[in-house]
């Protein structure tokens, strides 16, 4: 079913038992976040939360609205997230008609798309403009914006739909860029350099012109998702939302800027960004599970706040996975699979582990057809849109489900040949990646675990000898002072590096015969629970620069997943992991 606004969605969640109301008085500073974090960590993502009584505000707050497979599927009107890309795949498979019957069949699929184009609101007063405040009446403190983590620089709007358009007005965009509240009428505008909003801003900056911006908070759930989707530049997020809604978005003209916003939004912030005006924004507890560093970003000046008579403030909390954004990312994974297949038809499926925080790791299954096919695919994926930020790509055969990590690990144990299966290169990284010595640029790794085909040399593999026990390793390597976990040819060691370079420790371990039975040996900071597979994967995927932190020796991978410092050749400040007091 299609939801006209977020309130209808919340009502449906309550009807289905997917919503928990919190009636006690709570603070928008940290307290709501702590409750939300605990709820989102429950099996299956917990419940959506509706805080009725927020201290110092007359507006309720909703969080974790999309934090489960069921709620995210409901938001998009699909049976499950596995089916989220089915309709798009059907459209990509349309063939040129060969008969009148084919023409009519194709028309049945294409003509409904005309009905999803955005439409102007025709009523007297748009719901999002039932209350209008402009000029000196603007006061952002009236909105119960959350301070999410203890060391955040302030309160941040975390679920905003940011509306911008190109300088010539021909192209528009809806993105989701956090807003740090600076004072009653200014915020930060945290768009990364590769985002469409930043691209438009550069156009205005080159002409030294003020850029209009509008921000909607709380729209229909399909549009909220669409604002997070990695669409190609020029493709409308409003169309994607309409595609899932099966109905058009109703758009209302802003009061003080030349932009349109969803007529059914809960709150709307109107304003502008001045070219050349930057202000320190952050730090902020980000979806990587670490605080992203403070940096200089444009300033958003708010000229008007419009809202419903009785709005709901919608927010999301991001941090160490699993959290609500994991389910938004899972939807993206499924929706964009058919589009990825149009470029790489050999792909059967792919999987983005939550522990890779969406942009660090991809496991791709293919129907292999020729020598070096896996290597060619890896190189191709690194040149495709958001996949260009992917730090590690593993390619497997199509008969192995990429989301079955145990089977993928078995392939690594049986098939891996370090002399032929590894490709390490350098390229662009996501701005939030903290592991590389330099921002935005670092190393990437591709691993081929597919079966050999004619024309490829055989792998130099041999059966692994029996593994040493964790106790034996702890006694010999750590002298009883370190924690060791060993299972299924993987060894995790929690140690204090004591200022030593991680690569020196890896070399020492690689030369020690006690590790001969292992396919991978990883070191972690002492604070890490190395018996928790999800936690260790998260640390490996996020804390490693492949060329510096992975050493291959005798077909085994030795990995430094610890925090880094100058001894490791890491000049940047290492971010602090998110946690509540």
| Helical segments of 189-319, H only | 196-206, 221-226, 237-245
The gap between the terminal CA atoms of the chain, to the nearest Å, is: 41
Tell me 177's DSSP state: -
404 is known as an active-site residue = no
CB 230 within 8 Å of CB 385: yes
Longest dimension (CA), the chain: 79
- Cβ neighbors of 362 (< 8 A, separation 6 or more) are 350, 351, 352, 356, 381, 387, 390, 392, 393, 394
The enclosing H or E element of 481 equals: none
For residue 472 the two structure tokens come to 């034996």
Indicate the SS3 state at residue 423.
Answer: strand
CB 264 within 8 Å of CB 547: no
CA 365 – CA 200 distance, rounded (Å): 36
- Cβ neighbors of 217 (< 8 A, separation 6 or more) are 143, 157, 159, 160, 161, 265, 266, 267, 268, 269, 313, 314
- Cβ neighbors of 200 (< 8 A, separation 6 or more) are 164, 165, 166, 167, 171, 173, 211
Q: Which of 286, 349, 430, 560 is catalytic?
A: 286
Catalytic residues: 286
């Amino acid at each position: 079913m299609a939801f006209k606004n977020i309130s209808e969605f919340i009502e449906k969640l309550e009807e289905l038992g997917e919503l928990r109301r919190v009636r006690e008085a709570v603070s928008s500073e940290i307290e709501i976040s702590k409750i939300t974090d605990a709820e989102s960590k429950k099996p299956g993502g917990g419940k959506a939360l509706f805080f009725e009584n927020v201290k110092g505000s007359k507006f309720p707050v909703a969080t974790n609205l999309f934090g489960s497979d069921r709620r995210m599927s409901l938001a998009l009107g699909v049976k499950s997230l596995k089916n989220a890309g089915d309709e798009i795949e059907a459209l990509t498979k349309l063939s040129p008609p060969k008969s009148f019957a084919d023409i009519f069949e194709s028309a049945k699929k294409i003509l409904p798309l005309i009905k999803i184009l955005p439409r102007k609101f025709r009523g007297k007063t748009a719901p999002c403009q039932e209350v209008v405040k402009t000029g000196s009446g603007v006061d952002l403190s009236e909105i119960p914006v959350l301070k999410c983590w203890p060391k955040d620089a302030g309160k941040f709007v975390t679920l905003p739909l940011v509306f911008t358009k190109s300088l010539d007005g021909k192209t528009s965009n809806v993105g989701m860029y956090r807003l740090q509240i600076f004072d009653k009428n200014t915020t930060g505008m945290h768009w990364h350099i590769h985002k469409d909003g930043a691209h438009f801003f550069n156009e205005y900056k080159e002409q030294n012109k003020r850029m209009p911006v509008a921000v909607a908070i709380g729209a229909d759930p399909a549009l909220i998702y669409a604002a997070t989707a990695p669409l190609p530049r020029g493709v409308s997020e409003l169309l994607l939302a309409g595609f899932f809604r099966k109905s058009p978005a109703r758009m209302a003209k802003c009061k003080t800027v030349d932009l349109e916003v969803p007529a059914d939004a809960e709150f709307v912030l109107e304003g502008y960004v001045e070219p050349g005006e930057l202000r320190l924004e952050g730090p902020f507890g980000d979806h990587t599970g670490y605080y992203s560093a403070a940096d200089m970003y444009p300033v958003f000046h708010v000229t008007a706040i419009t809202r419903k008579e009785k709005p709901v403030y919608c927010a999301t909390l991001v941090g160490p996975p699993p959290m609500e954004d994991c389910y938004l990312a899972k939807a993206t994974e499924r929706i964009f699979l058919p589009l990825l297949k149009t470029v790489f038809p050999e792909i059967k499926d792919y999987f983005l582990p939550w522990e890779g925080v969406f942009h660090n790791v991809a496991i791709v299954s293919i129907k292999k057809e020729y020598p070096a096919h896996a290597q060619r695919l890896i190189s191709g994926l690194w040149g495709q849109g958001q996949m260009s930020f992917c730090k590690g790509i593993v390619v497997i055969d199509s008969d192995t489900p990429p989301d079955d990590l145990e089977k993928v690990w078995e392939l690594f144990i049986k098939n891996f040949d370090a002399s032929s299966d590894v490709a390490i290169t350098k390229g662009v990284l996501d701005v939030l990646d903290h592991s590389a010595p330099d921002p935005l640029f670092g190393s990437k790794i591709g691993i081929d675990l597919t079966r050999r085909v004619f024309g490829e040399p055989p792998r130099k593999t041999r059966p692994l000898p029996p593994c040493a026990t964790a106790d034996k390793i702890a006694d010999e390597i750590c002298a009883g002072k370190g924690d060791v976990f060993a299972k299924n040819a993987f060894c995790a060691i929690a140690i204090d590096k004591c200022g030593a370079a991680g690569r020196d420790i890896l070399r020492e371990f690689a030369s020690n015969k006690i590790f001969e039975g292992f396919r991978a040996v990883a070191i972690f900071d002492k604070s890490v629970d190395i018996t928790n597979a999800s936690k260790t994967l998260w640390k490996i995927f996020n804390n490693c620069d492949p060329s510096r932190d992975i050493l291959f020796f005798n077909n085994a991978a030795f990995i430094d997943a610890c925090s880094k410092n100058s001894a490791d050749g890491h000049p940047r400040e290492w971010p602090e992991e998110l946690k509540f007091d």
